Amino acid sequence: MTSYLVTGATGLIGRHLVELILADEDTERVWVTVRASSQDKLTDIAKQWPNAEKVSPVVGDIAQELAGVSLEDIEQLRGKVDNVVHLAALYDITADDETSIRANVDGTANVIALSRAIEAGCLHHVSSVAVAGDFEGTFTEDMFDEGQRLPTAYHRTKFESERLVREQTDVPWRVYRPAIVVGNSQTGEMDKIDGPYYLFPTIARLSSLPNLPTMAPDLGDTNVVPVDYVAAAMHLLIGKKGLDNRVFHLVNPEPQPTIGVFNAFARAAGAPTITAEISGGVGKSMLQLVKLTEHIPGVTIARDAVMERVGMPPVLLEHLNFPSVFSSAATRKELAGHVEVPRLQDYATTLWAYWAENLDPFRARKHGPRGNLDGRTIVITGASSGIGRATALRVASEGGIPLLVARREHELAEVRDEIIAAGGKASVYPCDLTDDESVRKNVALMLQDHGRVDMLVNNAGRSIRRSIKLSYDRFHDYERAMSINYFGAVRMILALLPHMSERKFGHIVNISSIGVQGIAPRFSAYVASKAALDYFTKIAAVEMHGDGVTFTTIHMPLVRTPMIRPTKIYDAFPTKSPEQAASMVVNALKSRPKHVGTPAGQLINTAYKFSPGLSDAVAYQAYRVFPDSVAAGGDARLKIGRGEKHLGRAANALVKLTRGFHW
């Protein structure tokens, strides 16, 4: 009977290897080191293993002395462990020196000390082909320190950790050097983005292009193996007698052209493949030229920005291929007749399907077959009437799921019932946008009910039309406008941004005002609050650029909603209907532009930029012509015309010239 102690059992290779070990009739016990905080994770994973009753957790942490295992546990383990399998490590080419040393070098030293303390039969250490660094030529299983350069912290710490294992003499050892490990060749299962997976988002974007002949420079060779092969090979090699103090290369026996790997996944994605290679000499010269451009100011910043956008670390560009060819003759001799490396082209489609379903950082961007809004969950504030209600109806008619937000629950319920009666879906969330706790609870409830929020329409608002002269003792007007128009919208945005950023997708539509594009007398409270939201949006759009969250600002013209009823002169103004306004919002949700407006708004904005003095003079005349309403404390008598609902010739001409603007 054989017993094991395994570090990193909850990792990708660890899960597969422990499953094979537990399936052996000869296995007596498998102790698994696990951090106290990860015991629940181990419990969940163990449910998928055969004979899980043979698994015993040992609380520990490889970053601590003796791998964090208590002296009491060490005493119980002493003399009982045949094989220590050290899998726990930091597999990250982008990690810094300090982090890599702590996990890989210090961690290995602590596991060696633990193996010595428990008098283990053999230490099986998982290293990496990265120990070859920039060595050019054939790198055999007998080679180690050949004076090669180790370009990253990952290369250096994997080399140093293997050196520690090889140089200690207290415990027999075996070292395993896998190549780039990808998912399970049978199921596609993978636990993180690594290696060729960094190319997948780019390949996915290319899948929409026609399959035309494509050329690319020769990018050299790489080496990719599936995790089930690595686990099966280790399982067999660990169980064989007489292999102590040897190194095993768990690699593809033949170097794989990087372009060939790209093409295998491109075919799986339905993307164009590279049909012709530029000769090695020319290709190498082109790559060297590209590298030289890094010294041009701004080029590296631009390159890194593009790579971040597609989720690829810039350092990966320098390590797309291996200068070494890894010989695995000795390993294959031991595995012959039992374990063989599957061909990438036979399982690339399986890997791609699993990634697209589970790991694609941009998978949240995918919509249903009916169109851009099909299946989207879209929060709409102010959804009980006006633009919000009309938008909710349109969203639902196109397959979206509006999450209706407003203060009055019974009015929201009416909108929801209308949507459901038409065959759609909707949910109601009565919420006070001026209250932190109300917003927090409702957003948490939305995520609990629906699992995600794809988009947000900040439509709820308060319009106050009152001249500054009538506002000297009404500071609360400004507070009220800011409370809902600015702080309410920002409160909802801040509550949803962490979720959207994590999913690498989200779109936020903020309903601003045409008044922000010009000068709108009597709207100092309203327009100022909308202008504040405009500039918050501009800054947020920049900061969220790399997270896949986008913003649209709609400078909405005058719309005939309950919000404008107190101003009776608007009865004579040309306005958009709520349905027309909803079309602007829905188009913004579909195409996600930076800005949506009207020709009149653009004209007013341009006029103010080029002739601010003249614009002020015209706006002042409008201020004189259109009085404060009775509701605002004015006398409502038009300076030109026949009363509050009637416009004179001059007033009517100004209204037509600035169509949609609120005076």
Q: Which residues are catalytic?
A: 526
In this structure, the strands spanning 455-458 and 506-513 are parallel
Helical H segments across 504-611, by residue range: 524-543, 578-591, 599-610
Whether 177 and 128 have beta carbons less than 8 Å apart is answered as yes
Torsion sign over Cα 592, 595, 600, 603: negative
In this structure, the strands spanning 221-222 and 256-257 are antiparallel
DSSP bridge partners of 325: 138
Tokens describing residue 338: 């039992």
Instruction: Quote the CA–CA distance of 149 and 610 in Å, as a whole number.
Output: 61
Distances from the Cα of 389 to the Cα of 52, 71, 382, 581, angstroms: 55, 66, 8, 11
Instruction: Quote the CA–CA distance of 515 and 524 in Å, as a whole number.
Output: 10
Tokens describing residue 331: 């390993």
Length of the chain: 663
User: How many Cβ atoms sit within 10 Å of the Cβ of residue 88?
Assistant: 27
SS3 content of the chain, % helix, strand, coil (to 5): 50, 15, 35
Tokens describing residue 326: 């890894």
Distances from the Cα of 500 to the Cα of 362, 380, 403, 485, 554, angstroms: 11, 16, 16, 22, 21
Instruction: Quote the CA–CA distance of 107 and 495 in Å, as a whole number.
Output: 39
Distances from the Cα of 300 to the Cα of 285, 546, 564, angstroms: 19, 16, 52
DSSP bridge partners of 85: 6, 124
* Closest by CA position to 11, among listed 93, 87, 76, 83: 87
Amino acid at 442: N
* Closest by CA position to 22, among listed 183, 45, 41: 45
Instruction: Quote the CA–CA distance of 510 and 382 in Å, as a whole number.
Output: 12
Please tell me what DSSP assigns to residue 559. Answer: B
* Closest by CA position to 173, among listed 238, 91, 266: 238
Instruction: Quote the CA–CA distance of 178 and 130 in Å, as a whole number.
Output: 9
Largest CA distance in the chain: 107
Instruction: Quote the CA–CA distance of 126 and 655 in Å, as a whole number.
Output: 77
Instruction: Quote the CA–CA distance of 404 and 507 in Å, as a whole number.
Output: 17
Reduced to 3 states (helix: H, G, I; strand: E, B; else coil), residue 539 is helix
* Closest by CA position to 449, among listed 426, 471, 430: 426
Would you list the DSSP string of 142-183? T---SS----SHHHHHHHHHHHHHHH--SS-EEEEEE-EEE-
